[in-house]
Amino acid sequence: MKHIFQSGSSTGPTMLILHGSGGTEKDFLEAGRLIDPGANILSVRGNVVEDGMHRYFARLSDGSIDEKDLIFRTQQLHQFLEESAGRYNFDLHQVLVFGYSNGATMGASLLFHYARSVTRAFLHHPMVPRRDVPLPSLSGSSIFIGAGTNDPICLPEEAETLYRLFEEAGAFVELYWEHEGHQLTTEEIKAGAAWYQRVIQE
């Protein structure tokens, strides 16, 4: 998978950055550094192309998530994480996820399927990746969900449902609201960074 890796502290976590639809691995590198200047950065480009835009998983003709492809792509991304941990010498069990929109939904899917590899997650404007499936225990995981009260793509009820699912699975979850649409604001990123500092000090 096309990616950028930037080394941080040898003992620090690794931040997996997942862009939104139409983005690239160059997006959100500064956001990652703002959140944790000492973290390794692994920013990965989605390898599904739809209408010329990079995504992490396919959609069906009605615009809904293609669950079969999502499961396959989540497995593929996790395998890439395992390979990257060996290649770049980082701890696979100290991974932070920063995802926006399509990337946030993929980040949520990693938590649904490979929770032991993700310790903390920043999910900005995610959708619920799968419904009516049991989640693994997320005890010890910390998750920040950023959402927009006027988001026409990732509706507020998506964020509320995901919050409930993660909380019921035992995760510590914070749901942050911006009175905006689907865009990711600087204020929302800063709110996530402030939350992260509180979490790591506990």
Q: Which residues are catalytic?
A: 101, 151, 182
Report CA torsion sign: 116, 14, 192, 156. negative
List of residues 6+ apart from 87 with CB closer than 8 A: none
Q: Which helix (H) or strand (E) holds 17?
A: strand 14-18
Q: What is the DSSP-derived secondary structure letter of residue 125?
A: S
- φ/ψ of 26, rounded to 5, equals -85, -15
Q: DSSP letters of 133-194?
A: -PPPP-TT-EEEEEEETT-SSS-HHHHHHHHHHHHHTT-EEEEEEESS-S---HHHHHHHHH
